[in-house]
């Protein structure tokens, strides 16, 4: 299995957000105008696209992505993707890796709200990304501002035809959460997000918030080897303000590189910016004092009903990897 890498020029929405077009979260490519050369489902594969020289199928060269045939009439091709959960969109990566003489020159993105798997023909689509130029064998990152509106589906339009290796749609889920019922307030599927992390050299901190089990160390948060005093950390905005009662710190798959210790701090935050929290978080009250961790193990800690908080700072000492973090708590009306 290939381990996903983080492009050096990946913007903040990639490093902090969740890929809503991930089939492991329930996303699916549900309709396309044409996928003669390569099936639409392949475009959502969570692993990086690959190129296999000399590999062909019945229709031509095997390509790792979605590819339509050469269009000989007017119009353009499209693919509709049902997102894993309704969400406010933050950005998109239209990845044409390995598509060189067969990539589309331009693309746009629309979004809609639909209760069905496939939106009906009379669906009202909202343009969230106007037509942009594409290059071959490249990532195309574009921020999206939906002004707080949540969507269930996106429609990728390519002009006029060609191939896209991967489509990543980043955003923040907007589920309805009930008060009084214990849930994972650090789950990205519930709306939690990473605000900042001091280092994400080998794996994104946002990986820790995914609801699925990590398949390997590449699907967790891993920092570089620390060669100076101090420790690594990340700041997480909870899905909703709440009281925490427990934490699960899972070092699954991390053996010679797991974090040796961890701790939690937290606070109720009002106002400010993500950047302003970085300094503030150093002085937040301790929710969980330093605890020793073991390799490849799920550690459960009681938190004894913290004050109502909105953010936590998760510290690891001195560096290393954690695959998943769960913060169990109860949503509070504020």
Residue with tokens 């390995």: 98
Looking at the fold, whether 166 and 186 belong to one and the same domain comes out as no
Of 138, 173, 208, the position where a domain reaches its end is: 173
Evaluate whether residue 25 is within a structural domain: yes
- Give domain status of residue 256, yes or no: yes
56-60, 88-92, 126-130, 176-180, range with the lowest pLDDT:
176-180
Residue 255's closest CA among 300, 292, 208, 294? 294
Cβ contact 34:69 at 8 Å: yes
pTM of this structure: 0.88
The count of other CB atoms within 10 Å of the CB of residue 256 is 7
Position 186 scores a pLDDT of 98
- Residue 327 scores a pLDDT above 50: yes
284 plus 244 within the same structural domain: yes
Decide: helix, strand or coil at residue 322: strand
DSSP label at residue 296: T
pLDDT of the residue at 179: 82
- Please tell me the total count of domains within the chain: 2
pLDDT in tens, 56-69: 999 999 999 999 99
130 and 212 together in one domain: no
Same-domain pairing of 104 and 225: no
Do 278 and 154 share a structural domain? no
pLDDT digits (tens, 9 = 90+) for 10-38: 898 998 889 999 999 999 999 999 999 99
- Which residue segment(s) compose the domain that 144 sits in? 12-173
Q: Based on the fold, state whether residues 151 and 188 are members of the same structural domain.
A: no
């Amino acid at each position: 299995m290939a381990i996903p890498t983080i492009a050096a020029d990946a913007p903040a929405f990639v490093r902090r957000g969740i890929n809503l077009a991930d089939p492991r979260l329930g996303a699916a490519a549900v309709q396309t105008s044409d996928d003669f050369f390569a099936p639409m489902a392949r475009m959502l594969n969570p692993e990086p696209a690959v190129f296999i020289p000399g590999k062909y199928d019945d229709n031509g060269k095997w390509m790792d992505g979605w590819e339509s045939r050469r269009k000989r009439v007017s119009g353009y091709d499209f693919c509709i993707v049902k997102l894993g959960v309704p969400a406010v969109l933050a950005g998109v990566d239209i990845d044409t890796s390995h598509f060189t003489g067969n990539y589309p020159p331009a693309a746009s993105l629309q979004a809609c709200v639909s209760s069905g798997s496939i939106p009906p023909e009379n669906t009202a689509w909202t343009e969230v990304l106007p037509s942009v130029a594409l290059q071959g064998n490249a990532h195309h990152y574009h921020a999206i501002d939906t002004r707080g509106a949540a969507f269930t589906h996106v429609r990728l339009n390519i002009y006029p035809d060609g191939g896209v290796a991967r489509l990543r749609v980043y955003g923040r889920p907007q589920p309805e959460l009930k008060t009084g019922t214990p849930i994972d307030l650090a789950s990205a599927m519930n709306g939690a997000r990473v605000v900042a992390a001091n280092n994400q050299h080998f794996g994104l901190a946002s990986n820790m918030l995914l609801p699925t089990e990590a398949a390997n160390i590449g699907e967790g948060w891993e920092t570089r080897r620390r060669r100076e005093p101090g420790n690594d950390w990340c700041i997480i905005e909870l899905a909703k303000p709440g009281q925490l009662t427990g934490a699960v710190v899972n070092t699954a798959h991390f053996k010679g590189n797991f974090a040796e210790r961890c701790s939690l701090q937290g606070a109720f935050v009002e106002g400010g910016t993500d950047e302003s929290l970085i300094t503030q978080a150093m002085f937040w009250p301790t929710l969980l004092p330093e605890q020793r961790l073991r390799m490849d193990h799920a550690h459960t800690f009681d938190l004894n009903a913290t004050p109502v908080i909105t953010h936590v700072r998760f510290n690891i000492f001195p560096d290393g990897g954690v695959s998943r973090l769960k913060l169990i708590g109860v949503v509070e009306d504020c």
